[in-house]
């Protein structure tokens, strides 16, 4: 026998965060969220579908309109508890003063459980007590959600004390910052509000966890592909004795930088989509390291290179670069690269500084011309920088609740990073990265695939730890 799909109506006073809770629980950023009270006028159902099968549904409802008067009617009602919502709607359906109250009772009448949302940053009011009692008199299983930040606890005890009188369970849940683990905890709480729902909710929780594991595995595959593309990337430019040397060198460095930036950006978009951020962008804080250029000195100093390594990379002289290129061409470069002058800035030094990070060579081509070639990457340092940046992005994405619509300055996981995540890895983990890097440079397909699979396993473990709040 197929288990019924559990459904929960998210109810409460207008502008208390109901829609944000729905959006976060359903991982659906299409939920309309507005600071203007009363924007939700009709019920809207948001199903959670995994592997083509609906496993749970959440219903966004209008806010209470006249809870005190509604309570008066409910107290005078003498019929069966399970028909209270339906009888209330029959009695008030044509009364505009109870339009929203009648609408929010629709899913309750149809058997939905209740998730009652309040703004925990404000004090308790008599109107709140009336809403709680109305919901209690419906006889439906009920969970109370106090929607507030962890730091805003002035009224928390007051809310909890009142809720214990009328609700089966109580949870503090910040819909703007809730992590994956906190969403699972809330679902665990729903299991306790009605014994009959435990089997179906256990199925829901198991499906959520399995789906998260699949997404992490897919993220690991996406990251592996990014590393392969970036570390093996090559770029070439033809030149002759009439070539404008400064322009050629600048264009090559800038083009290589843009190519790697595109590879990184494409990876971020895939991860963002995988975690169902389809409409609203995940806003990174203004100070995030991800806003800096991949080859900027700030990025490399914070995430990878030591100060000494930075000085070495950025201090490479134009003459040294020119000599290296002339040597690669066996003296046939026409002296085009004899004076680089002024090109040892962050981008060029990191990319081509005497081949420190990226292989640069001059090769012959047909018709007697010459071509300067950049790539593949010669230094494993770029692998660590790319990993650090994508892991920070992943941390932002999975912890950006779908009910959140803008960044308001408070920190997210990954903010204020001082060192890269990879700098904290042990020797065994770094050896996996080294073997992967060598595998990407190998012409042995078997070796390449073997090291790739081990890298993917490592990434899945790292992503799992980040999901659990570990680094």
Q: Dump the DSSP string for 349-412.
A: HHHHGGGSSEEEEEEE-GGG-EEEEEEEE--THHHHHHHHHHHHHHHHHHTS-TT--S--S---
Instruction: Kindly give, in sequence order, each residue whose CB lies less than 8 Å from that of residue 19, ignoring residues fewer than 6 positions away.
Output: 10, 31, 32, 33, 34, 39, 40, 60, 403
Closest CA relative to residue 22, chosen from 199, 30, 198, 280 = 30
The pLDDT score that the predictor gives to residue 468 is 80
Q: Where are the alpha helices (DSSP H) in 147-195?
A: 156-163, 180-191
pLDDT band at 344 (very low <50, low <70, confident <90, very high): very low
pLDDT band at 446 (very low <50, low <70, confident <90, very high): confident
Taking only the tens place, the pLDDT of each residue in 82-93 is: 898 999 999 999
Question: Please, which residues bridge with residue 147 across strands?
Answer: 119
Mean pLDDT over 166-181 rounds to: 89
Strand pairing report for 53-60 and 235-239: unpaired
Cα(105)–Cα(154) distance, rounded to whole angstroms?
A: 31
Mean pLDDT over 4-25 rounds to: 91
Tell the burial category of 105 from Cβ atoms under 10 Å away from its Cβ (0-12, 13-18, 19+).
Answer: buried
DSSP 62: P
Answer whether residue 195 shows pLDDT above 80.
yes
pLDDT band at 177 (very low <50, low <70, confident <90, very high): confident
The angle that helices 84-92 and 99-109 make with each other, rounded to 10 degrees, is 150
Answer whether residue 365 shows pLDDT above 50.
no
Mean pLDDT over 267-296 rounds to: 74
Answer whether residue 8 shows pLDDT above 90.
yes
CB 291 within 8 A of CB 284: yes
Mean pLDDT over the full length of the chain = 79
pLDDT band at 287 (very low <50, low <70, confident <90, very high): low
pLDDT band at 274 (very low <50, low <70, confident <90, very high): very high
- Residue 376 preceded by cis peptide, ω within 30: yes
CB 3 within 8 A of CB 203: yes
Closest CA relative to residue 18, chosen from 161, 115, 158 = 115
Strand pairing report for 113-119 and 169-172: unpaired
Instruction: Give percent helix, percent strand, percent coil of the chain, each to the nearest 5.
Output: 50, 10, 35
Helix (H, G, I), strand (E, B) or coil at 178: coil
The pLDDT score that the predictor gives to residue 327 is 31
The pLDDT score that the predictor gives to residue 341 is 28
464 membership: H or E segment, kind and range: helix 445-467
The pLDDT score that the predictor gives to residue 301 is 53
CB 142 within 8 A of CB 166: yes
The pLDDT score that the predictor gives to residue 379 is 78
Answer whether residue 352 shows pLDDT above 80.
no
Mean pLDDT over 188-203 rounds to: 91
The pLDDT score that the predictor gives to residue 236 is 79
pTM: 0.81
CB 455 within 8 A of CB 221: no
Cα(352)–Cα(335) distance, rounded to whole angstroms?
A: 18
Answer whether residue 423 shows pLDDT above 60.
yes
Domain 7-193 has CATH 3.40.50.300: yes
Answer whether residue 397 shows pLDDT above 70.
yes
What are the start and end residues of each CATH 3.40.50.300 domain in the chain? 7-193
Answer whether residue 211 shows pLDDT above 90.
yes
The pLDDT score that the predictor gives to residue 118 is 94
């Amino acid at each position: 026998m197929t288990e019924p799909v559990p459904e929960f109506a998210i109810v409460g006073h207008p502008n208390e965060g109901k829609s944000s809770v729905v959006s976060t629980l359903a991982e659906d950023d299409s939920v309309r969220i507005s600071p203007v009270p009363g924007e939700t006028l009709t019920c809207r159902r948001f199903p959670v579908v995994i592997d083509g099968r609906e496993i749970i549904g959440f219903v966004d409802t209008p806010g209470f309109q006249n809870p005190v008067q509604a309570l008066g009617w409910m107290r005078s009602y003498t019929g069966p508890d399970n028909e209270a919502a339906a009888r209330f709607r029959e009695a008030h359906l044509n009364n505009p003063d109870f339009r929203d109250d009648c609408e929010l009772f629709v899913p309750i009448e149809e058997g939905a459980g209740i998730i009652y949302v309040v703004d925990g940053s404000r004090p308790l009011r008599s109107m709140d007590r009336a809403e709680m009692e109305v919901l209690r008199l419906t006889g439906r299983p009920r969970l109370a959600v106090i929607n507030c930040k962890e730091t805003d606890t002035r009224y928390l005890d007051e809310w909890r004390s009142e809720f214990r009188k009328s609700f089966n369970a109580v949870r503090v849940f910040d819909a703007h910052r809730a992590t994956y683990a906190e969403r699972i905890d809330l679902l665990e709480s729903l299991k306790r509000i009605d014994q009959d729902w435990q089997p179906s909710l256990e199925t829901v929780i198991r499906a959520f966890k399995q789906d998260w594991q699949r997404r992490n595995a897919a993220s690991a595959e996406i990251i592996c592909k990014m590393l392969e593309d970036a570390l093996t990337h090559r770029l070439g430019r033809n030149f002759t004795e009439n070539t404008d040397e400064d322009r050629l060198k600048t264009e090559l460095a800038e083009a290589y930088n843009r190519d790697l930036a595109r590879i990184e950006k494409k990876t971020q978009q895939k991860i963002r989509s995988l975690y169902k951020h389809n409409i609203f962008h995940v806003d990174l804080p203004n100070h995030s390291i991800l806003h800096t250029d991949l080859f900027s000195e700030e990025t490399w100093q914070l995430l990878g290179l030591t100060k000494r390594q930075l000085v070495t990379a950025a201090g490479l002289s134009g003459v040294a670069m020119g000599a290296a290129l002339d040597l690669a061409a066996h003296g046939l470069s026409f002296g085009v690269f004899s004076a680089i002058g002024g090109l040892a800035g962050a981008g060029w030094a990191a990319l081509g500084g005497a081949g420190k990070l990226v292989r640069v060579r001059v090769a012959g081509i047909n018709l007697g011309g010459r071509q300067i070639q950049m790539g593949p990457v010669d230094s494993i340092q770029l692998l660590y920088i790319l990993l650090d940046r994508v892991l920070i992005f992943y941390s932002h994405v999975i912890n950006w609740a779908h009910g959140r619509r803008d960044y308001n300055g408070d920190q997210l996981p990954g903010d204020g990073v001082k060192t890269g995540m990879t700098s904290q890895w042990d020797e065994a983990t770094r050896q996996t990265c080294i073997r992967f890097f060598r595998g990407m440079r190998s012409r042995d397909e078997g070796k390449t695939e073997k090291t790739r699979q081990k890298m993917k396993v490592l990434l899945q473990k790292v992503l799992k730890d980040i999901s659990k709040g570990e680094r």
